[in-house]
Structures are given as C-alpha cells and as structure tokens.
Amino acid sequence: MSNIAGKAYAMNVITPIRWTTAWLNKLIFWIALKRPSTLRGLITLSLIHYARWVIIGKNQFPHLDSSQPKEKLHYSYMLFFSNFNGSWDQYVDSFTFAIPGGLDLFWKWNIRYPKSVALTPFHHYIRYNQIETIHYYNAYPLATSNDVKSAKAVKDALIQFQCQSADDESDDNFLQRYNALLRGLQHDLGAMHPTPIVSMSAYQVERRKRWHDGSLQKEIAAQQAAQGGQNHDR
C-alpha cells in the first residue's frame, strides 16, 4: 500500500456522524458552495488539488449482491477525500494553521471530533479515521498541481505569442513582446525535478538508493523492453 504516488498524496478519512445532525452538515456544505468566500482559505493553499466532503447515509453503502451480508450501521458517515502535494504533516498542519475555523465547521457534528486546535488530538483523530490507499495511480508523478497549472499557462501564453507574431515585426517590437511574455509567466517557470523525500518506508528508501546509483532506471528500461517484447509476440 502507499498513499503516495509521485508528488501526490491521497487521503481518505471516514468519520461517523449522527443522522440527526447529518442534515445540518449538508446544509453547511450547501451554504459553503453558495458563498465561495468561505472556501477562499482552502483555495489559497496551493498544495491542494481538491478536497471533497460527502455524507453517506447508513443505508447508502453499496450492497452488491444478495449474498452480501447486511450491515447494521448506527451512524451516517462523512467521507473526506483529497489529493495534495507534500507530506501528510504538511497538509494536515497547513489546514489547521490556516483555516482552523473552516475545519471545525465542516467536522463540527462528527462523533468525537476534537477540534483542529490543539494539534496533537486532531492529528490522532485524522490518523485513526484514515483509510489507507490500496492502489493509487499518478500519470504525471513529477508534477504538482501548481506545475500542471503553470504548464497550461505557459502553453496558452506561447500559442498566443506565436499567433501575434508577424513576419514584418520590428526587432524592438519583438523584444518588447518577448519580455512581456516572460514577465507574465514569471510565476510559472519553476523547474520540474524529482520529488523531495517524504516517505521513509523501507521500500521507498531502498528504491531511492537504487535510483541514486542508476540501477533503478536500468531495471525499468529492462522491464519495459520485456513488456514491449511480449506485446510484440501477441
């Protein structure tokens, strides 16, 4: 298992909530969506890809087949699902440092929610209710959500720049436009390199060692070659 893929972390937290108060939570979500200013802090935390809160009623869990035993649940549940860049600590701490009030509002009615400040009980609450990610795929392991947004901005600006180019453009005019292009992109030109280390699991440490001495790249290349061969046979 790993909650991490490339620079992204997937977090699932599921917490019980009484059905008698679940509707209040739904109301709060509805208001938050209607008034975008309530989510301003969340949006300013640029390490977050997105965050989603869903209330699942006690009878709404999937029942796939009549042979599946029926569960008897006492509570409704709130599922929190988010993808972000950085470590678990950085994410949870950014939340509590920056928007403790918002967190408390969203989790207010959840059973035994300790409030987001002080930090240690909140850490324990999230850890205890977190469901580890069994499978997690990331198509762009080197990219953060900021990197993706920046790449799109650079692409759009470049296309626009090219469209505005003319064969008879003067050198001065070109330089001016080129400088304006760079200036407009000055917060979108960060490099995209391997991720800083957040995991100290034995598997990841060993993998990094192999990456550093070059053997991991060779293994991957060999693997790909073998797979390519297989496909070809078919």
Partner 1 sequence: MTQKLDLLDIQGNIIRAYGRFGYPMARYVFFNIRHSARAREFVGTVTDRVTTAVEWGEGPGQIKQPDWTVNIAFAYQGLKQLELPRASLSGFSPEFISGMKDRRDILGDDGPSSPENWDPIWAENRKNRDKDVHIFIALNARLPALLEEGYAWLTGVAKQYRDAVAILNGHRGEHGALYDYQDVKAVMENGQPTAKEHFGYTDGIGDPVFEGAPNYDLNVRGRGKQLEDGSWAPLATGEFLLGHIDEAREYPPAPEPILLSRNGTYMVYRKLHENVATFDAYLDEQGRKYPGGKELLAAKFVGRWRDNGAPLVKAPDAESKQKFDAEFAAADQAGKDKLLSDFTFDDDMSGAKCPFSSHIRRINPRASLQMVKGSKPGSMIFNKDAFDTPGALSNRRRILRRGLPYGEVKDRSRDDGNHGIVIMMLNTDINRQFEFVQQEWINYGNDFQEGSDKEILLGNHNADNKFPSKAVLQVDPNSDQAPYMLSKIPRFIETRGGEYFFVPSLTALRMIAQGVVDPT
Residue ranges that bind partner 1, judged by CB under 8 A: 7, 40-41, 43-44, 46-47, 85-86, 89-90, 93-94, 96-101, 117-120, 144, 146-147, 150, 157, 176, 178-180, 182-194, 196-197, 200, 205, 208, 212
CB of 74 to partner 1, least distance (A): 31
The closest of 123, 65, 61 to 97, measured between CA atoms, is 123
CB of 230 to partner 1, least distance (A): 30
CB of 142 to partner 1, least distance (A): 9
d(CA 215, CA 221): 10
Q: Which is nearer to partner 1, 77 or 95 (CB)?
A: 95
Q: Which is nearer to partner 1, 18 or 207 (CB)?
A: 207
d(CA 136, CA 7): 12
- The structure tokens listed for 227 are 């797979």
CB of 68 to partner 1, least distance (A): 41
Q: Which is nearer to partner 1, 101 or 141 (CB)?
A: 101
What is the bridge-based pairing of β-strands 76-85 and 130-131?
Answer: unpaired
d(CA 187, CA 223): 38
Q: Which is nearer to partner 1, 30 or 97 (CB)?
A: 97
Name the one residue in this structure whose structure tokens are 């650079």: 154
H/E stretch holding 79: strand 76-85
